[in-house]
Amino acid sequence: MNQLVESIPEPSFDLFQHNMGASSYHPRMMLKLILCGYTQSIFSGRKIEGLAKDSIRARWLTQSQYPNFRTINRFRVNPLVQPLLEECFIQFRNQLVSQDLIDTDAIFIDGTKLEANANKYTFVWKKSIDNYETSLTRKSKELYQKMVAEEIIPALQEEDEQLTEEDFSTIVQSLEQKVDELTVQIEASEVTEERKTIRSERKEPRKRLKQFKDFKARKQTYKEHRKKFGTRNSYSKTDVDATFMRMKDDHMRNGQLKPGYNLQIATNTQYVLAYDIFPNPTDFKTLLPFLNTIKERYFDLPQYIVADAGYGSEENYQAIMDDFERTPLITYTMYRKEQKKKFKQHPFNPQNWSYDELTDHYICPNDREVRFRNHST
């Protein structure tokens, strides 16, 4: 561990230098202490602080320096630590290669789902937001057209199929102006019946003003939701980076969706050489981005990319061979099923039907010709 951290080039620590405040602990020492704790399954900041005082190995790594738990926690959540971890993986692989502990011909990719530390009932679904926004668009447009017809507010200069945020602001401003004008008339009038008539006339604009203020706030809320979604279909309110997905450990056996992350790792001889985290529940969508991450941050891709059938897709095969110029050793999703005797002998399986190349048609078990009709996805 000491050799690994010491192998990190000095320029990698330059961003930690500062000329203000008291002198800080060197990031090399802090990284050694945290890695020492993690290798012993110690993750709490207070327990790592105790480890630095009680363990002879930790005291040697820190050279008898004892950072407190606040310093430890501030260091490991510092964004500058992320590049250090990536550099650790690079140096770790270099050491493995120099000691002939791994070969450089292949990497083995696999993933696992990690449950996020978030409430499982704080979900936000993209489809629900789409439905809510569609309903809001329809209601607001109908209400606006009704108010224009009743001459409560003037028509907008440029009308689109749906009202924009600027349109909502303009409508709210017009309604506020209308309400203020009627209020001034009420205060100026001394005739009781006239005041009652104006108050009755003011009820409708005030009611619509309240509705459009609510519409405007909801429109802004839906916009913020869409920013958080990105390319995902869900997220957790208490951990906006987590996506709802089915976990491998399903103790209730009901396929419950929980907030989590899809961790992808590249290994060789059981050594982890690279990693990345994705919001995609399925593995095959993470393969190409992960290969790009390995190539950009860690090391050049080896000749062979090995993965299980969960990564098998025509798009992935094509990209690995054409874009990365590497060889994919990835089985397709139906490979294992096709090797079974039941599959090979099933009479109504199209793969087992007779095929006539001249007329381009199959013959089903009922001795009927089956011809091509259309592609479907």
pLDDT (0 to 100) of residue 159: 66
Tokens of 351: 């793969």
pLDDT (0 to 100) of residue 74: 94
The widest CA-to-CA distance across the chain, in whole angstroms, is 100
The SS3 of residue 261 is strand
Cα 161 to Cα 132, 137, 142: the distances in Å are 17, 9, 11
Give me the residues paired with residue 370 across strands: 362
pLDDT in 10s for each residue of the chain, 377 residues: 899 999 999 999 988 887 777 678 999 999 999 999 999 999 999 999 999 999 999 999 999 999 999 999 999 999 999 999 999 999 999 999 999 999 999 999 999 999 999 988 899 999 999 999 999 999 999 999 889 888 888 888 766 678 888 889 999 999 999 999 989 998 888 888 888 998 898 999 899 999 999 999 999 999 999 999 999 999 999 999 999 998 877 766 777 899 999 999 999 999 999 999 999 888 999 999 999 999 999 999 999 999 999 999 999 999 999 999 999 999 988 888 888 888 888 888 888 888 888 888 888 888 888 888 887 76
Q: Distance (Å, rounded) from C-alpha 248 to C-alpha 123?
A: 19
pLDDT (0 to 100) of residue 47: 96
String of DSSP letters for 130-149:
HHHHHHHHHHHHHHHHHHHH
Tell me if 89 sits within 8 A of 265, measured CB to CB.
Answer: no
CA atoms within 13 Å, Cβ hemisphere of 31: 24
- Closest-CA residue to 256 (of 265, 244, 238): 244
Amino acid at 296: E
Residue 328's φ and ψ, nearest 5 degrees, are -85, 130
Tell me if 245 sits within 8 A of 120, measured CB to CB.
Answer: no
Which H or E run includes 369? strand 369-371
- Closest-CA residue to 228 (of 245, 215, 217, 243): 243
Q: Hunting for tokens 């459009």 — which residue is that? A: 212
pLDDT (0 to 100) of residue 377: 62
pLDDT (0 to 100) of residue 337: 84
Cα 264 to Cα 249, 320, 326: the distances in Å are 17, 17, 19
Say which residues have a Cβ less than 8 Å from residue 353's Cβ, sequence separation at least 6.
362, 363, 364, 365, 370
pLDDT (0 to 100) of residue 256: 84
pLDDT (0 to 100) of residue 158: 67
- Closest-CA residue to 247 (of 232, 261, 230): 261
Amino acid at 364: C
pLDDT (0 to 100) of residue 344: 84
Q: Distance (Å, rounded) from C-alpha 173 to C-alpha 165?
A: 12
Contacts 24+ apart (CB under 8 A), 58-65: 58/33, 61/1, 61/2, 61/29, 61/32, 61/33, 61/36, 62/29, 62/32, 62/33, 63/29, 65/25, 65/29
Q: Distance (Å, rounded) from C-alpha 228 to C-alpha 85?
A: 26
Tell me if 331 sits within 8 A of 312, measured CB to CB.
Answer: yes
Q: Distance (Å, rounded) from C-alpha 20 to C-alpha 257?
A: 48
Give me the residues paired with residue 121 across strands: none
Q: What is the pairing mode between strands 361-363 and 106-115?
A: unpaired
Q: Hunting for tokens 């789409």 — which residue is that? A: 130
The SS3 of residue 340 is coil
- Closest-CA residue to 139 (of 203, 222, 219): 219
Amino acid at 235: Y
Q: Distance (Å, rounded) from C-alpha 288 to C-alpha 376?
A: 25
